Structure 1
Amino acid sequence: MTRTYSLAYLSSHRCTPAEAIGVAAKTGYSFVGLRLWPNAAGAPQQHLLGQPAALRETLAAQADTGVGVFDLEIIRIGEQFDPHTWDALYDAGAALKAKAILVAGDDTNEARLTDHYARLCEVMKPFGMTADLEFMPWTAVKDANAALRIVQGAGSPANAGILVDALHVGRSTTTLEDIRALPRELLHYAQICDAQAGLNFTTEQMVHTARCERLLPGDGTIDVQGLFDALPADLPVSVEVVNFGREANTSVLNWAAECLAKSRPFVER
């Protein structure tokens, strides 16, 4: 089955939003993912919020190419949480017709995190996007079971979602049975990459791999094939491969094309 592919932010982090859309159009992707809000204060991002000219340029690129915006990054739910902090992100998502916002959970008080997630879903409801909670082993949502517990504890809102990233499956206690047990209605897309699998990495090592040194599918030891066999066959795929060393020797265009070419054999069947 052919898939819908999105060029993730980390695969095109050298691009502005409009440039990423152009690269996606030239290399076979139907969508892009954009990081319009950094994952930490001062961390890398694509600048569009509060910049009307950048938004107009991005909308024009969409109109010219037909490439859509799939997901936006990132909302982090900490101990202190006000969902209206991200009002500008919701507005941009609505303008770009984005489908999802990626959410990370950092609050180790699971009851409070669950309440805040439910509130986020409520606030996002008018904007037409899902709130996709990504489990990551160094966060408070460490595996697929934790993500499911939080979403169900929040009442499984209609715009709730769980994001499955191959890297975090390979480095958490998540099993393929856990993936198969995720309700289909909570799955909106999945992220593909590879790395060395295992449970003995430090937080610093896991974060470094995630943000700087992922591998192309097939170049590591994560069971990428098993994962995508366990996921729904029609699930859109976000190709998320960042590798600063490899990228230094190739153009963004060639990197995006190689990432897609290496991903296809694992998800098309």
Structure 2
Amino acid sequence: MTSRILSLAALTVLELSPPDMVSCAAEAGYSHIGLRLLPATPTEPQHDIVGDTPLLRETLARLADTGVAVSDIEILRLKPETCVADFLPVLETGARLGARDVLVAGNDADPVRLADNFARLCELGAPLNLAMNIEPMPWTEVRNLKDAAALLASANRPANAGVLIDAIHFDRAGCRIEEIAELPEGVLRYAQLCDAPADKPRDIDELLLQARAERMTPGEGGLKLAELLRALPATLPLSIEVPQAALARTVGAVERARRLREASERLLERVFGA
């Protein structure tokens, strides 16, 4: 059993409603959970949880009953047409849930506008004690760690701006382990753990399929997870983000989540010792 915080990411059990995700995390042995308040794609389930809704109140009740804590909320996309102020209800809901981190995607090819909106988002989250974490993804305009570092430098909001490293995106974007040490101190607040085949996808369709629906259990694929984990801060919380759509057809959410937690703990023990 690791002393490091392991959080169950929403994408891992996306078939569940937010309150059921909380119950699933508790049953599967997690202390924390990440909740998706806004869908990442138009085809995903969308839950009426932003604002003082019945679903939010049910989620809060499950958190209180189980003792599970919310680590992060997602996903805020910064697009050319984004009005950052429109995200305030989402951030207020996240703060009410007890979250401290927000996952942000950069979907704007104008670097000046993107940095300005990211800075505004940081300012909006600051009074709520929320940090904005840009997640580099190879199909977005913030593709890699270099792009993320440039965005943070331009936005210049060090108090609550972070970078979120996801193991599969880190590999698929061609990032190097050495780049992690080059990031400003304190910008890594949590990371996402998963595994994937060593061979990189042949096209964008395969890239998106792996990332959104078919990742591998940590320690069972070909990513260089030991090197990545050793390069990250030793106590950095890990969000276990492993969607497995094919397996989900025959194995329930709680059992999948439990297997992933146990595999992640075994991996951490192999890398760092008991």
TM-score relative to the length of structure 2: 0.93
Shift of 1:264: 1.5
Equivalent position of 1:25 in the other structure = 26
Structural mapping, 1:29-48, within 5 Å: 29-48=30-49
Equivalent position of 1:148 in the other structure = 149
Shift of 1:88: 1.7
Query: Residue type matched to 1:16 in 2?
Result: S
Shift of 1:216: 0.7
In the superposition, relative to structure 1, how do residues 173 and 57 fare at CA in structure 2: closer, same or farther (>3 Å)?
same
Equivalent position of 1:208 in the other structure = 209
CA distance in 2, matches of 1:266, 1:235: 15
Equivalent position of 2:249 in the other structure = 248
Equivalent position of 2:97 in the other structure = 96
Shift of 1:42: 4.6
CA distance in 1, matches of 2:97, 2:137: 27
Equivalent position of 1:263 in the other structure = 264
For the 8 Å contact 1:184–1:232, the answer to whether it is kept is no
Query: Residue type matched to 1:29 in 2?
Result: Y
Per mean C-alpha deviation after superposition, the further-off stretch among 26-35 and 232-241 is 26-35
Equivalent position of 1:13 in the other structure = 14
Per-residue CA deviations over 1:227-252 (Å, capped at 9, x if unaligned) read 11110110000000001111211111
Query: Residue type matched to 2:202 in 1?
Result: F
In the superposition, relative to structure 1, how do residues 168 and 152 fare at CA in structure 2: closer, same or farther (>3 Å)?
same
Query: Residue type matched to 1:245 in 2?
Result: A
For the 8 Å contact 1:94–1:128, the answer to whether it is kept is yes
Shift of 1:44: 2.8
Shift of 1:220: 1.8
For the 8 Å contact 2:201–2:207, the answer to whether it is kept is no
Shift of 1:81: 2.0
CA distance in 2, matches of 1:183, 1:60: 38
SS at match of 1:191: strand
Query: Residue type matched to 1:58 in 2?
Result: T
Query: Residue type matched to 2:8 in 1?
Result: L
CA distance in 2, matches of 1:12, 1:199: 25
For the 8 Å contact 1:74–1:104, the answer to whether it is kept is yes
CA distance in 2, matches of 1:197, 1:179: 20
Q: Show structure 1 runs of 4+ deviating over 4 A.
A: none
CA distance in 2, matches of 1:118, 1:23: 35
CA distance in 2, matches of 1:102, 1:130: 9
Equivalent position of 1:239 in the other structure = 240
Equivalent position of 2:133 in the other structure = 132
Per-residue CA deviations over 1:37-77 (Å, capped at 9, x if unaligned) read 01133533444124621111111111111111111111111
Shift of 1:209: 1.1
CA distance in 2, matches of 1:195, 1:73: 22
In the superposition, relative to structure 1, how do residues 184 and 65 fare at CA in structure 2: closer, same or farther (>3 Å)?
farther
CA distance in 1, matches of 2:201, 2:31: 36
The CA RMSD measured in Å over matched residues stands at 1.6
Shift of 1:157: 2.9
1:57 aligns with 2:66: no
For the 8 Å contact 1:171–1:198, the answer to whether it is kept is no
Identity %: 38
CA distance in 2, matches of 1:177, 1:157: 22
Shift of 1:265: 2.7
Number of positions where the alignment pairs a residue of Structure 1 with one of Structure 2: 269
For the 8 Å contact 1:172–1:198, the answer to whether it is kept is no
CA distance in 2, matches of 1:23, 1:140: 34
Shift of 1:113: 1.1
CA distance in 2, matches of 1:188, 1:37: 21
Per-residue CA deviations over 1:157-176 (Å, capped at 9, x if unaligned) read 31101000001011012100
List alignment gaps of at least 5 residues for structure 1. none
Per mean C-alpha deviation after superposition, the further-off stretch among 244-253 and 229-238 is 244-253
In the superposition, relative to structure 1, how do residues 267 and 184 fare at CA in structure 2: closer, same or farther (>3 Å)?
farther
CA distance in 2, matches of 1:229, 1:71: 23
SS at match of 1:185: coil
Shift of 1:200: 5.3
